[in-house]
Structure 1
Amino acid sequence: MDESGFRYDPRRCALVVIDMQNDFCSPEGALAGCGFDVSAAVAMTPRLAELIDRARRRDVPVVWVRTEHDETTDTPQWLGRVGTGPGTARTGLTCRPGTPGADFYGVRPEPGEPVIVKHRFSAFVGTDLDGVLRSRGIESLLFTGVATEICVESSLRSGLFHEYWVSLVEDCAASYSPAAHAASVAVVAQNFGTVVTADDLASMWVARPITASTP
């Protein structure tokens, strides 16, 4: 069996959407206000929306991950992780609960789709994501969202360490730096999982029969 038979089987895989939120993606969001270039996230969003629609039509579970930060999750170490002071827009004032910046950008969950709230880069740290996935029989994770080299890659690495097959959908992930995105894609391909495109997945979901067992 080739790897598409188990990595991308709709009965085994889930599409994981990381941090598609206004503060991270919108030109009016907090990171754009700090000078981060969100143009890649803006350009990627319609392609991700199309992939999400395809996943739903193929009954591939869509799992949403969003970030929230507040005084109960902030620590001096976390707020100061990039050498800036506590309370700056770069580190401390993104995705505060109940603010427009924490809301979804361009895509959003449908009723019944799980939404995981995280407070650190990895979607597995301090969350019930692993239990949500295992309760649905998920064995393989297809990662999308922002930022490629930060929360997407951190979550993908954690997924492998939790014994999932992991893949990066490279044209449905975005960074604030083309070089950082390219470097992350290369690191994933060399060390952690496979790299695919949205069109690759669409073709495999149409062409491949649903398989019955993991090799």
Structure 2
Amino acid sequence: MSEANLNTTQQTIVYGSGRRPDAAVPRPGLKLRKGHVGIVVTDPQNDFLSPQGVTWGVVGQNVTENRTVENIGQLFSLAKELDIPLFVSPHYYFPHDHKWEFEGALEQLMHDIKMFDRPGPLDTAGFDGSGADWVEQYKPLINDGQTVVCSPHKVYGPQSNDLVLQLRKRRIEQVVLAGMSANLCVESHLRELLEQGFEVVVVGDATAAAQIPGYDGYEAAIINFRFLASDLWSTGEAAERLAKLK
């Protein structure tokens, strides 16, 4: 099925492990409005997206199959080429975060494997090239003085950082959402942004998730993206639609 048909009510979902008729789920779509659109990317960091990252053993196959690294990179480039505000919502853990007295399942895992660890909020010692650092090819696009790098979210969603404030201060009302990982931070950001009154489309191949025996985080996320978001696009469709804002 061509990308031109992705926004029809007869779409077949092409992300995930299978192809499912999609006619039963409405597709509100998203008509982009110049000056009110922002691209939001969660956790474009080595621990998720690099073969040296601590989660690569469970997310690497999905990242590779989706071409997630390349697709996120394309969204970054589009933001710069088309002058679309770009927001990064990162994930960092500092020593005081490891003193939490209770955690959910994946919170515990992230702490145990020292995911996204930094020595302190004002200390960047050992940061360059670490699991908490940006993927190398993204650095010129994130560190250009124009990208909004939000304060870190601490669990999965943006309730604990300043993303919503940054979006509202730029009068952003529509969000093109991507990043890592699909069924955790991306989905949590989607849910909170919807509750905050934003229109949100998810770029389904610019994300990925853990896939382990009996648990497919990506498949779970794609289902919920379709149930929740205004639309679900491929990177190619996002590029085509965003280019029309010029």
The TM-score range, normalised by the shorter chain, is: 0.7 to 0.9
User: Equivalences for 1:127-138 in 2 at 5 Å?
Assistant: 127-138=161-172
- TM-score for both structures, normalised by structure 2: 0.73
Which amino acid counterpart does residue 47 of structure 1 have in structure 2?
N
The answer to whether the 8 A contact 1:18-1:151 is kept is yes
Structure 1 Cα separation of the partners of residues 205 and 163 of structure 2 = 24
Counterpart pick for 2:60 among 25, 31, 38: 38
2:116 counterpart of 1:95? yes
2:36 counterpart of 1:15? no
Give CA deviations for 1:151-209 in whole Å, capped at 9, x if unaligned.
010111110011111111001111122932122112121234311111112222234x6
Which amino acid counterpart does residue 175 of structure 1 have in structure 2?
A
Structure 1 Cα separation of the partners of residues 176 and 112 of structure 2 = 32
Quote the offset at 1:137 in angstroms: 0.6
The answer to whether the 8 A contact 1:19-1:65 is kept is yes
Counterpart pick for 2:102 among 77, 80, 86: 77
Change in CA separation of 1:130 and 1:25 when aligned onto 2, cut-off 3 Å = same
2:138 counterpart of 1:107? yes
Unmatched 5+ residue regions in structure 2?
1-27, 119-123
Structure 2 Cα separation of the partners of residues 4 and 199 of structure 1 = 15
Could you tell me the percent identity over the aligned residues?
A: 21
Quote the offset at 1:73 in angstroms: 2.6
What is the aligned length?
199
The answer to whether the 8 A contact 2:43-2:90 is kept is yes
Which amino acid counterpart does residue 89 of structure 2 have in structure 1?
V
Structure 2 Cα separation of the partners of residues 83 and 115 of structure 1 = 22
Quote the offset at 1:44 in angstroms: 1.3
The answer to whether the 8 A contact 1:54-1:202 is kept is yes
Which amino acid counterpart does residue 102 of structure 2 have in structure 1?
Q
Structure 2 Cα separation of the partners of residues 170 and 149 of structure 1 = 11
Q: SS at the partner of 1:40?
A: helix
Q: SS at the partner of 2:95?
A: coil
Which amino acid counterpart does residue 44 of structure 2 have in structure 1?
M
Quote the offset at 1:83 in angstroms: 8.9
User: Equivalences for 1:43-58 in 2 at 5 Å?
Assistant: 43-58=67-82
Unmatched 5+ residue regions in structure 1?
211-215
RMSD: 2.4
Equivalent position of 2:10 in the other structure: none
Structure 2 Cα separation of the partners of residues 163 and 140 of structure 1 = 9
- TM-score for both structures, normalised by structure 1: 0.82
Displaced runs of 4 or more, over 4 A: 82-87
Change in CA separation of 1:161 and 1:88 when aligned onto 2, cut-off 3 Å = same
Quote the offset at 1:87 in angstroms: 5.1
The answer to whether the 8 A contact 2:30-2:231 is kept is no
Which amino acid counterpart does residue 119 of structure 1 have in structure 2?
K
